[in-house]
Chain A
Amino acid sequence: MPDASYPENLRYHHEHDWVRVEGDEAVFGITWYAQDALGEVVYFDPPEVGSSITKDTAYGELESVKAVSDIHAPTSGTVVTVNQQVVDQPEVVNEDPYGAGWLIRVSLGDPSELDGLLDAAAYRAYLAGISS
């Protein structure tokens, strides 16, 4: 498993999700902190392509051997792609949470929702508050 990291080019949601904006689309995943807390991921239950997802609500589930974790949508949108590699090899989320372990790509519904997300520094400060 890689060391803790929170790339500067991503936006973060306090439920430990990240967003990478690419034009009017965005890629979602879970942060290093989230995959570390969940442990070895063994199952990904993704949303359907074409379904609508709503900011702050669960759009899918990741499971470890022992626990289930809802994955929260950092923004609203419509699901464009699901990462089939994570469906087939869920441990990729642990191995590369910001790269090969991305979860879904969405078409953004309301880009202004991005303004409410945290940058890397603010997310790190938020994590420091959780652990202290």
Chain B
Amino acid sequence: MSEPVLHTSLHGRHAAHGARFGAFAGWEMPLLYTSPTAEHRAVRSASGVFDVSHMGQLELAGEGARAYLQSMLSNDIAALGPGQGQYTLMLEDDGGVIDDLIAYALADRYMLVVNASNVAPCRERLASRLPDGVELGDRSLEIAMLALQGPRFLDVLEPLAPSGSSLDLEYFEIAEDVVAGVPCLVARTGYTGEPGVELLCPWDQAPALWDALVDGDSRATPAGLVARDTLRLEMGYPLYGQELSRERTPIEAGLGWACDLDGGGFAGAGRLRRQKEEGTAERLCLFALTEGGIPRPGHAVLSDGEPVGEVTSGTLSPTLGTGIGMAYLPAELAGPDHEITIDVRGKQKSARTARRPLVDSSPTKG
């Protein structure tokens, strides 16, 4: 027996747009419509909209919620006032990554937006140590989520949000608003490297919101998960299941900035502090090929002919026109401008390690 396949409330909209679907964490999601590189370029140059309703939403409320999350998440949640969010991680006691997520402080509760594949592990981890007086809810199948991303995202949002309350949010802020008649939480977040918002709304109202975003005067281009992947990879953003796993810590992944190592008593902090002091044997790095070819996950990385790592993500960068990827490499090779070789199905391709991002984009520009 195979597991039942989950569909978002936008499945029919995607099919009508000619989507190619693929399985992702138990969901059948649009991988692309007609051209993933055109969708990618639309997001870099104008705006695109992604259905990310498969992502999960866990909510915690009650007097002890903040203290509890302080013990369960890596970043300093006490730094958040109502209407603010932060990138953070849930870790094993040994520092391995259970998930990377965004935690938002709302007026009366905290909302965690977690990866689709990690809803159950995050929920179970939070339930396992839940103190009296803290309530945990899983709203993943009640809340739909659309990511409107790109330098022109306000051209799309502004005509649909007459109250204006979501139009001047700072990066990582969140506010309630009514967009195209649909009650939403609007967050100035995303994972493309472009300015934009993520819109969270009731599951059944997502089609009306989608129609307004893609059919309006300043329409956003529907974009699939393939473009989402090439966009995040150009920025050097890690993806759970590729770069992040229980076998890796945030320090190895270059996410120490999302860990409150000075004050934090969170699970896994001890090992992370030691790693920060002593350094780690390997670190995640970004690279670009200096000749033709496309690196793929699992390809060996070589230095002076010796295997030194494995590609975790790889693609052709639509912006640069060259192969790009990420890999965990020995610390001495993980800085920028080291010459490495990628074994692309038996062909040795020259590559160079690079700082992130690989492209001139920023989610806070404009």
Contact = CB atoms under 8 A, between A and B. Distances in A.
B116 interface: no
A122 interface: no
A121 to B, nearest CB: 28
A129 to B, nearest CB: 22
Contact of B36 (A40, A43, A63, A68): A40
Interface residues of A, number: 13
Interface stretch (B103-111, B198-206, B290-298): B290-298
B230 A65 contact: yes
Interface in A1-55: 1, 39-40, 42-43, 45
B42 to A, nearest CB: 14
B37 interface: yes
A68 B32 contact: no
Nearest to B34: A1
Contact of B20 (A39, A68, A91): A39
B345 A42 contact: no
A45 B37 contact: no
Interface in A49-78: 61, 63-66, 68
B31 interface: yes
B316 interface: yes
A131 to B, nearest CB: 15
A61 B347 CA distance: 12
Judged by DSSP, the binding face of B is: mixed
B31 A40 contact: no
Contacts of B293: 43, 45
Contact of B292 (A43, A64, A65, A68): A43
Contacts of B296: 68
A65 B54 CA distance: 22
Contact of A65 (B34, B316, B345, B347): B316
A1 B318 CA distance: 19
Interface in B332-353: 345, 347
A40 B41 CA distance: 14
Interface in B100-129: none
Contact of A68 (B31, B34, B226, B345): B345
B294 A43 contact: yes
A42 B294 contact: yes
Interface of A: 1, 39-40, 42-43, 45, 61, 63-66, 68, 91
What 3 A-B pairs have minimum CB-CB distances, sorted nearest first? A42-B316, A65-B36, A40-B35
Given A40-B32, A66-B31, 7 more contacts: A43-B292, A43-B294, A43-B316, A63-B316, A68-B294, A68-B345, A91-B35
